Amino acid sequence: MNDQLIRNVQVVNEGRTFTADVLVRGGRIERVAPEGIGSADRVREFDGAGRHLLPGAIDDQVHFREPGLTHKDDIAHASAAAAAGGITSFMEMPNTVPQTLTQELLEAKYARAAECSLVNWSFYMGISNNNLAEALRTDPRTVCGLKAFLGSSTGDMLVDDPGTLDRLFKEAHMLLAVHAEDEHTIRANMQRAVERWGEAIPIEEHPRIRSAEACHKSSSNAVALAKEHGTRLHVLHISTARELDLFAPGPLENKHITAEACVHHLWFTDADHANKGSLIKWNPAVKTAEDRAAIRQAVIDGRIDVVATDHAPHTLDEKARPYAQCPSGAPLVQHALPTMLELMHQGVFTLHQVVEKMCHAPARLFRIEGRGFIREGHHADLVLVDLDAPWTVTKENLLYKCGWSPLEGQRFRSRVVHTWVNGRSVYANGQVDRTVRGQRLRFDR
């Protein structure tokens, strides 16, 4: 039975929290009834008393590693972990093997997701120095965006030809998401580190190699190009206080340059390398406590528009390699929402700010049809959370294919109890229904 009646729940939506019954039929929200619903035929009922119902979170940056890197992760495992973490829609990056640089390879990823993804999906079209004409064939109504690496990261998909960059920003006909780190600066920093440390570069050097200067220089250049050409630019994983001056608060609908923060840049600092080592090696690197505080404030005041994960698993063997051979990235989709709710308990964010940045704002920013809100007529992507149900992250409760998390041992006060995707129960009380399939995201563009 796929029709649901969630009774007496605390609905958190569009800046309000109120008690209501929520009726779901045919995969969509039929009624949100503060006055209650007396009875409904042929539905499964859930008692939501004492719990909060949120819109499903939308993650605009993940690396699910399929095709070609499935020893690290794959769509089936990662989407199950996402469902357990209250993420009901994802947008996946093109640095797979092969890289997603043609329309045929892009559609092959969509076909694979239709076979195995438990939650809703979209995939970015990748940009290289040589595929711009092909990328510009992308349909903005059915694809979340174009993606350009302005600094190399996992997979070394680097766009560094000045002519290509200028044409890309001038001709991009849809949202352009960028990884912004200046390659020349990083290489110079790396050379100095090699000269000092040889092959024994300590992990604590990572924030100095992938430096604040490298981030700011690349982000500044991207923003300048976007202003020159009127590009719809989205800058991913802001990691420094310096970059925040590039972005303005204000309604998303009025912006053509937007920014994202990732959960790890809101949670960790460079000091955590002492205990976590390469498990928290990311590109861009986690920076200082001052940078973290500034990013948190930018989430609150609106200079940062959305919060995502940059979920990017590797095996533990890969993460144990020496610094120069150790890949950057870590798994996060199962724990992003609990982490943000923990920051709520710490007084960093309010519950409404968490929902705004993880649910509402991604839907508005990407102009996703019918998702990101608890509204009548919208797809029933819903997450039931208990804000007072402490638990601890352990290897035994991980759903990541890679089998580890940088948050192991962390005690969270809030728990995802139940997740529905298009009205179907996909996760409930620790169990995943792997027969559920999500849908391809559509965009009102």
Q: What residues are annotated to the active site?
A: 310
Q: Please state, in angstroms and rounded to a whole number, the distance separating the CA atoms of residues 335 and 407.
A: 8
Q: Please state, in angstroms and rounded to a whole number, the distance separating the CA atoms of residues 434 and 74.
A: 14
Q: Alpha helix locations (H) across 346-435?
A: 351-355, 361-366
Q: Please state, in angstroms and rounded to a whole number, the distance separating the CA atoms of residues 329 and 311.
A: 7
Residue 324, classed as helix, strand or coil, is helix
How many Cβ atoms are within 10 Å of 368's Cβ, its own excluded?
A: 23
Indicate the helix (H) or strand (E) that contains 392. strand 391-392
Name beta bridge partners: 53: 11, 384
Indicate the helix (H) or strand (E) that contains 276. helix 273-276
Is residue 101 a contact partner of residue 126, using CB atoms and an 8 Å limit? yes
Q: First and final CA of the chain: distance in angstroms?
A: 34
For residues 98-137, b (16+ Cβ closer than 10 Å) or e, as one string?
ebbbbeebbeebeebbeebbbbbbbbbbbbbeebbebbbe
Q: Please state, in angstroms and rounded to a whole number, the distance separating the CA atoms of residues 111 and 142.
A: 13
- The length of the chain in residues reads 445
Q: Please state, in angstroms and rounded to a whole number, the distance separating the CA atoms of residues 84 and 419.
A: 7
Q: What phi and psi values does residue 42 have, to the nearest 5 degrees?
A: 50, 50
Is residue 189 a contact partner of residue 228, using CB atoms and an 8 Å limit? no
Of 266, 243, 237, 247, give the one whose Cα is nearest residue 354: 266
Tokens of 238: 């802001």
* CA neighbours closer than 13 Å in the CB half-sphere of residue 428: 10
* CA neighbours closer than 13 Å in the CB half-sphere of residue 424: 15
Question: Which residues fall within 8 angstroms of residue 171, CB to CB, at 6 or more apart?
Answer: 132, 136
Q: Among positive and negative, which fits the CA dihedral 363, 368, 373, 375?
A: positive
Residue 115, classed as helix, strand or coil, is helix
Q: Please state, in angstroms and rounded to a whole number, the distance separating the CA atoms of residues 290 and 155.
A: 30
